[in-house]
Amino acid sequence: MRNIFETIGSWISIAIDFFYPPFGNYMTLQFFRYGVSGVANMAFDLVLYFLVYNFVLQHQMLHLGFVTLSSHIATLAIIFPISSFTGFLLQKYVTFTASDLRGHVQLYRYFIVVFINLMLNYVGLKLLVDGLHFFPTPAKMTITFFTTLFSYFSQKKFTFKNV
pTM above 0.85, yes or no: no
Using H for helix, E for strand and C for coil, what is the string for 35-96?
HHHHHHHHHHHHHHHHHHHHHHCCCCCEECCCCEECHHHHHHHHHHHHHHHHHHHHHHHHHC
Q: Counting every residue, how long is the chain?
A: 163
CB neighbours (10 Å) of residue 106?
A: 20
pLDDT digits (tens, 9 = 90+) for 98-147: 888 998 999 999 999 989 988 998 999 999 999 999 999 899 899 988 88
**pLDDT tens by residue, 64-108:** 999 999 998 999 999 988 998 999 999 999 999 988 899 899 999
